C-alpha cells in the first residue's frame, strides 16, 4: 500500500498521459516536494523509480528514504547536498534511482527541492521488488 503527502506542491491534470488521478507539480520553493509511504511485510531491497516530465530542462532534487538522504552515483557520501540530476524530458519518462532498503512496516520516501528549485511533474513513485 502507498499513500502520499504534499509539501508546498499541488496536483494538476493538464498534461495528458499521467497514470492516476493527476500528477504532482509546483516544486518551486525551498523544500517543496512530495512524501509517499509504502508498507512492507519484510525487510527487502526494492528498485525506486520516478515517472516524471521535465520539459524546461534538467532538474536537481533530493531523495530521502526513512529520513536518510540517498546519494547519487558519483557523488561522495560526505557531500552535504546530495542532489540527483533528473534529465530534461518533454514527455513522460522514468528515472531509475536505484536500489533502496525497505524495513518492515511503514517506509517514507521523500522527493523534494533543497534550497529553491526547478519545477518538475511527478506522475508516480514506483517500487519494484529486487530480491
In angstroms, the CA 20 to CA 84 distance is: 25
Whole-number pLDDT of residue 117:
77
Domains of the chain plus CATH, in order, are 2-129 (2.60.120.260)
Write out the three cell numbers for 115. Answer: 534550497
What predicted TM-score, i.e. pTM, was given to this entire model? Answer: 0.92
Residue pLDDT, tens place only, 53-82:
999 999 999 999 999 999 998 888 888 889
Amino acid at each position: 500500500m502507498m499513500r502520499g503527502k504534499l509539501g508546498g506542491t499541488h496536483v494538476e491534470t493538464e498534461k495528458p498521459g499521467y497514470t492516476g488521478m493527476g500528477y504532482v507539480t509546483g516544486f518551486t520553493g525551498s523544500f517543496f516536494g512530495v512524501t509517499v509511504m509504502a508498507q512492507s511485510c519484510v525487510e527487502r531491497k526494492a528498485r525506486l523509480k520516478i515517472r516524471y516530465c521535465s520539459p524546461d530542462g534538467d532538474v536537481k532534487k533530493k531523495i530521502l528514504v526513512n529520513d536518510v538522504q540517498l546519494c547519487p552515483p558519483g557523488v561522495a557520501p560526505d557531500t552535504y547536498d546530495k542532489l540527483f540530476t533528473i534529465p530534461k524530458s518533454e514527455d513522460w519518462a522514468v528515472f531509475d534511482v536505484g536500489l533502496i532498503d525497505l524495513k518492515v512496516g511503514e517506509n517514507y520516501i521523500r522527493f523534494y527541492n533543497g534550497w529553491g528549485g526547478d519545477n518538475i511533474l511527478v506522475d508516480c513513485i514506483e517500487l519494484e521488488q529486487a530480491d
